[in-house]
Structure 1
């Protein structure tokens, strides 16, 4: 039996107290989108009696509810301790919601969870009811005859072995749990499917997987199908060598769909290799042709054929047949180098000719299985089957099934043949499918781009992306007014838009969405030329970047290649780039070596050796640079960090390098290295252990270029750190983004304060400060982009000893329309100005609005918390004040149509206690 432990209860209490006592808990954050490009959906739960009502779970963006068929959504996990979703289930009779936290997809950005959350009030409050060490959850099944009986499939840790995986069952609504199926420490449960006509019959898919930072094995002998006939209390394995279903080391992820107690479909990621005779044949020279080719054989090759090979495989333009043959003659290179030139870590993953997706069917309750189709389902999975696995069946039509991979496919004949049903407004990566058994052709599809709905079996789809749930890897800002925000999104390209964006559907009338796309793929880092904000550098995964002029559309592809004969560069998934502050023509780019272009990305030179541990053999690039920072004090004074824990420094543009990380924890991902803009020899580093299932925070500072390091974690909770940023005005102020929260320190890490007003518990990948606007901009991996003005925070160390301080109050432009409306059917226009202030003690305070001669025009009694506070003043005054002050000034003002008197143009004083501050109505 597993019960809520005292330790976990204490942890939740500590987090709550931390937020409650934070000096910055009232600092308001605003979401500035975008929503048009959404985030990855992992599950949907639909009311069977009213399909207009359903929940959509986003991988790292929380749970959202709609009762109007996706026209609009509300977040129901705003108050939850995490936004990381794995699986959901709803008892529609009682309204109880079950959430399995931690995404089951084994992606690079699949965040772990904290167990099972339960809400009995439609998401207003949440209770953690156990399985806290499960990390990633594949499926939840509620017994329709007994809603207190719930079965959970736990896939378990992503990067390390653990025992809290398999199948768990509760019969008392989550008070206690029993482990009913455990296979081994590397095998969990990815899917469970219940018989629609008998809830005692369940089928479960186990999945053995082993992910490391440098390699992913998404298959193993532990992958199989199990069956229970007692509602999940006991299980038997039903796929063996006699069953007809594949077994052994090549069995990967399995998705399940049950038509009834006897008929069940399974979608398999078959990682066994195709027979040699069935491998795809390609015309022309192939990579493997060169591996055993002699020098003489190479020189006899037809130049046209060789040029075709070089061009199709994207060799550098200088490598022509003539150039290469000359190099062969001089023994500068070998024929085999034309093969190894292409063999980076990605090559193994992308070019392995595995069997791929297969659909199997059983009509005897899982005793025997038959593959439904004869041909290969090419292009459904390729080698990325671990990322997919969803299959659905129409429970009113045994032969109507749907499978999701890179395309979305349907079959009307039980899987013998398939047709694609994705359309131009549907994302290509599919993670969830709901089929309406009572209305032929009605589907709800969750994918990497959000949610789509069809009523005609995929002929036409609506796009239902109103929540701002983008998964940003990186953001940046320009210096325009208002400034723009740029960012790279998981599987949704690179976008930019105005910082004053407010969510609205007005763009659907104009056809002009405020955010614009400037690239596809998995959007990555962005640099903007500060001399011309139209010139932007960005790109997609593994170092495929570009320079684009947003005004002229001039475009330059950027992907530096190694020299023929050398080992391929290793590029991280999120390859770091940096424009030099000293010269915006200079672009740095990190592979396993540091590359530099002096001409805006046209040409690159290598300015280092390998700055990593050297990589490891695997199918994921590893031993790569992850962060670059150049000191604002000196050109060529550069720090770089790597995914395997190295930090190196050059003070002379790469002529010499020094490793400065030997005294830091080893083997961790360097998530950020920052050269201080306040002190030349000061450097900040954050390390991240997420890829070792190590969730501790690591933050260090050195005052002497890395000779001595000091830890700054202080009172931070156990969340991995993704980013640290210095405040540009006060060297004592630092900001950090973690996998769950954002913090600020006013004393360089001695104590940290938690931001929480308007910010859900979500992974934060990036932080940027727009210096002129004094805005902190937050790029989250699940809830798009937020911003908050930090002008008041930048004054903290000047006023922290004072009882009350009022900060600069923005002026407001007077309007004769205040209090009026366009018609009697619309709301009146109501002005407001925010008064930011700080108090050293919580309590009641009087806010007075005074004229220049200290005449009182209005007053308010408010409660203020210790720390920063924000009072919204509606620019109103009273009739009594009018008579006592404005009549003396011979200023005639009238009551607005909403029966409120508003202040006329002029200068006014805000007073809190004895502290005063002037603001103006212009």
Structure 2
């Protein structure tokens, strides 16, 4: 990728603390602690319900298909776990939900024995590629799993299994993403993972991204080595360590075959390599070539007219001679502010206020750099002699495939029945029928971009299954037509929001799938196929980011895509207005984070804040902006990733202009006067960590919370802090949270002691303002929680995950789980009345499921034990009774609002009435008043409800 200066790192007085990657031993200990917390949590019985959405899906990293029955296959999602189908993708079931990670890099299945090998930790090396915990193995098709070691691998490139021996496995380990480590290279086991041998090690920054095996000879293996180095401010996806290795003894020994005389590129520009083997002699390699194109060979813009590059070389005299019409066309097309048009821009140049090159600089934000491609990019090589020599297949550049981020793809697949038919995965998916000389796009109009996996049916020509950032697609005509297989809820949300409508809506921005909104109570099913109206609606494309909803009018929504490209959207009138603050021509461009923070003022919903490296404020819904700070970061660093940017903004609900900001380079700052002056609050905190959240308290003007995140240093320590003096001093409140990078903290609006924290491995609740934490995972696997919001009226906690879409939990019981309640032996919470319906237990059709009511009776117990529950009528008749084995903490007894058989007989003895039995065999309570008696711990507690 093209490297550019975001700003030279500013001098600072604080010495940089050395951030250390978390050891695998610490990770293992934390996973054990998390498991213990799950079992003993006071809130473990409060369910989290997944509400979708599913149709846009999430990033697929691998597919494993049964060649003998291709309706049966597994799909590995980057951070959404492993899913299984046996009906050709019509439906899926998750099979890894009880494991301690949902982060996957590769899978391999030995179909004859039902053995699954799962390599945890995504290998695509993106900014959100989460680390794993090593190798997992199942011998019963995913019902149970064992951890098989390689705990410090973090990211797995490829797994290949001997088809004749499920215990013989070769694993390509990519290694740490953000730090150097030794556990990388090729690992081999012959005893089913009990022991491993590192048979190929190159260096502590080079791992193995791909392993390919001859279909005729398992002993013949090829491995693609990849040298890379990612930092928060820079990614280098190439180096001299990258290359191709060969083994002729099933991975026991290896020889490098991409030598200077082989015909395959060597040197510092060698990037990610993907491999495909046809037979013992012929194999292909796709290479993300990071060597620079010669200036004369750089890709020309397809449109005629002025380009950004032209202005870099214009002299003052050449610029002033430009045609005004042509210059205006360039300015308008590239979204220059209205004040910058040909006449006044020429005047600025004429007066030496700006230089012609400033017009190019004006456009060089981090988003535009994603698509600048001065490197050679994708190339395809073929060897017909087992890798001794290679020949480049493409004579022309393969443009518009990798752009500047080929490290994210670099996959090649070959038709097992046609030596010349290959498929390349990139932003689109393209195919060649002449051995890679020419290509055709097979990216259908209903197929998402950014492809990572392709399976080709060896027994049915034209049958393809494809995995990309938008889920799974299937074709039976070689890519001419595709259909989607996207029933799993595996959306990768960055941020969420709610409104106050009835029912309230949930909004969220997703990785590469835009921004969506939908009612929180919609059921995730396929009924929408009948109407064509999916209950969730897309409102913006790109990588969806943060959302703010005007609380006076929910039709006004502020949201955007990556690097600060935000809009004010009028949903009612389907109108978008671009609102990103712009620097002045000639000034250094603002630096915007991938997920730039945006905030509506709680004091006035016309006032909007947006963060770059500075804080911007609009008093008119984003129409115009004032910059109310200088640079609030440490100044940026040299690199190709935007850095030295704001990541979080909070305004105190007590005082307008009492604002806090956090940055990706570790600074937390406060202004008490709307930006007039700023105070650095982070001097006594760990240095140079990503400030994932800063939150001004809703209960105390002096209180503020902050979370720091070391993910981008492979530091998984949980950093959570509270201040009672506006950030002058800080107290750590992470306490018993196991090691897992923290993304978000939120304070309950009703109970000041109730806090929630979302980490890269799950959700936690504190009932005592951070003194201790409870695991909050019931119904949700160990998945990254990126955002949390509370819908105050509904008393719902809404959880935005980066891998399993959105969950909702009713937290009303938690809000009232005060110290007084926890000191009691037993406490039963008040019940809401329930509206009677004559349709209970009945269905409109013989074939339809009956509608059934339910009443959740929530109670707290201060110890484990057996409780008796009785439902009594107003005249003390027991109409139903049961026992419940209660846990220490909150418990929920779900009552079906029906008579027991004995209860019905007792009721009829006293009441001369007719109780009609419903279609499902149950007899439901008539209208009236009822009492619930909960008896246990030597205590009887009563609570009443009405059937109205």
If the TM-score is normalised by the length of the shorter chain, which range does it land in?
Answer: over 0.9
Q: Does 2:231 align with 1:212?
A: yes
List per-residue Cα deviations over 1:100-158 (Å, max 9, x = no partner): 00000011110000000011122122111000000000100001122111000011111
Say if 1:404 and 1:431, in contact at 8 Å, map to a contact too: yes
Structure 1 match to 2:281: 262
State the Cα distance separating 1:334 from its structure 2 match: 3.1
Name the stretch that deviates more: 307-316 or 864-873: 307-316
Q: Does 2:838 align with 1:819?
A: no
Q: 2:104 aligns with which of 82, 85, 100?
A: 85
Q: 2:296 aligns with which of 274, 277, 300?
A: 277
Q: 1:101 aligns with which of 120, 125, 129?
A: 120
State the Cα distance separating 1:855 from its structure 2 match: 2.4
List per-residue Cα deviations over 1:49-89 (Å, max 9, x = no partner): 11110000000000000001100000000111100010000
Q: 2:611 aligns with which of 590, 595, 606?
A: 590
The alpha-carbon distance between structure 1 residues 337 and 877, as it changes in their structure 2 partners (threshold 3 A), is same
The alpha-carbon distance between structure 1 residues 421 and 729, as it changes in their structure 2 partners (threshold 3 A), is same
List per-residue Cα deviations over 1:326-345 (Å, max 9, x = no partner): 22344433333223223344
The alpha-carbon distance between structure 1 residues 814 and 247, as it changes in their structure 2 partners (threshold 3 A), is same
Tell me the secondary structure at the aligned position of residue 758 of structure 1. Answer: coil
Say if 1:821 and 1:827, in contact at 8 Å, map to a contact too: yes
- In structure 1, distance between residues paired with 2:523 and 2:308: 52
Task: Within 5 Å, give how 1:5-154 maps onto structure 2.
Answer: 11-154=30-173
Across the aligned residues of Structure 1 and Structure 2, the Cα RMSD in angstroms comes to 1.6
- In structure 2, distance between residues paired with 1:548 and 1:166: 49
Q: Does 2:526 align with 1:505?
A: yes
Say if 1:154 and 1:188, in contact at 8 Å, map to a contact too: yes
Structure 1 match to 2:943: 917
- In structure 2, distance between residues paired with 1:11 and 1:602: 48
Q: 2:562 aligns with which of 527, 541, 544?
A: 541
Gaps of 5+ in 2: 1-22
Q: 2:321 aligns with which of 300, 322, 333?
A: 300
List per-residue Cα deviations over 1:422-441 (Å, max 9, x = no partner): 11111011100000111100
Q: 1:669 aligns with which of 685, 690, 694?
A: 690
Structure 1 match to 2:10: none
The alpha-carbon distance between structure 1 residues 300 and 12, as it changes in their structure 2 partners (threshold 3 A), is closer
- In structure 1, distance between residues paired with 2:175 and 2:361: 37
Q: With structure 1 as the length reference, what TM-score do the two structures score?
A: 0.98
Structure 1 match to 2:878: 856
List per-residue Cα deviations over 1:211-244 (Å, max 9, x = no partner): 1111111111111010000000110000011111
Say if 1:349 and 1:619, in contact at 8 Å, map to a contact too: no
Gaps of 5+ in 1: none
- In structure 1, distance between residues paired with 2:345 and 2:759: 49
Say if 1:493 and 1:518, in contact at 8 Å, map to a contact too: yes
Say if 1:223 and 1:253, in contact at 8 Å, map to a contact too: yes
**Residues matched between the structures, number:** 919
Structure 2 match to 1:570: 591
Q: 2:857 aligns with which of 813, 835, 856?
A: 835
Q: With structure 2 as the length reference, what TM-score do the two structures score?
A: 0.95
State the Cα distance separating 1:854 from its structure 2 match: 2.7
State the Cα distance separating 1:413 from its structure 2 match: 1.4
The alpha-carbon distance between structure 1 residues 831 and 353, as it changes in their structure 2 partners (threshold 3 A), is same
Q: 1:631 aligns with which of 632, 643, 652?
A: 652
Say if 1:79 and 1:124, in contact at 8 Å, map to a contact too: no
Say if 1:346 and 1:619, in contact at 8 Å, map to a contact too: no
- In structure 1, distance between residues paired with 2:29 and 2:694: 33
Q: 2:208 aligns with which of 165, 182, 189?
A: 189
Tell me the secondary structure at the aligned position of residue 693 of structure 2. Answer: strand
Tell me the secondary structure at the aligned position of residue 239 of structure 1. Answer: coil
State the Cα distance separating 1:472 from its structure 2 match: 0.2
Structure 1 match to 2:20: none
Tell me the secondary structure at the aligned position of residue 876 of structure 1. Answer: coil
- In structure 2, distance between residues paired with 1:871 and 1:827: 23
Q: Does 2:264 align with 1:245?
A: yes
Structure 2 match to 1:325: 346
Task: Within 5 Å, give how 1:767-778 maps onto structure 2.
Answer: 767-778=788-799
Tell me the secondary structure at the aligned position of residue 816 of structure 2. Answer: helix
List per-residue Cα deviations over 1:481-519 (Å, max 9, x = no partner): 111000001000000001002221100111110000000
- In structure 2, distance between residues paired with 1:892 and 1:53: 52
Q: Does 2:800 align with 1:804?
A: no
Q: 2:251 aligns with which of 232, 244, 251?
A: 232
- In structure 2, distance between residues paired with 1:595 and 1:522: 22
Say if 2:381 and 2:390, in contact at 8 Å, map to a contact too: yes
Structure 1 match to 2:866: 844
State the Cα distance separating 1:162 from its structure 2 match: 0.8
- In structure 2, distance between residues paired with 1:84 and 1:299: 55
Name the stretch that deviates more: 361-370 or 290-299: 290-299
- In structure 1, distance between residues paired with 2:846 and 2:576: 52
State the Cα distance separating 1:10 from its structure 2 match: 5.3
Say if 2:881 and 2:900, in contact at 8 Å, map to a contact too: no
Structure 2 match to 1:660: 681
The alpha-carbon distance between structure 1 residues 917 and 408, as it changes in their structure 2 partners (threshold 3 A), is same
List per-residue Cα deviations over 1:4-40 (Å, max 9, x = no partner): 9998765544332111111011111110000001000
Q: Does 2:484 align with 1:463?
A: yes
Say if 2:67 and 2:458, in contact at 8 Å, map to a contact too: no
State the Cα distance separating 1:884 from its structure 2 match: 4.0
- In structure 2, distance between residues paired with 1:788 and 1:766: 14
State the Cα distance separating 1:348 from its structure 2 match: 4.8
Structure 2 match to 1:643: 664
The alpha-carbon distance between structure 1 residues 13 and 569, as it changes in their structure 2 partners (threshold 3 A), is closer
Say if 2:788 and 2:799, in contact at 8 Å, map to a contact too: yes
Tell me the secondary structure at the aligned position of residue 441 of structure 1. Answer: coil
Say if 2:842 and 2:850, in contact at 8 Å, map to a contact too: yes
The alpha-carbon distance between structure 1 residues 89 and 281, as it changes in their structure 2 partners (threshold 3 A), is closer
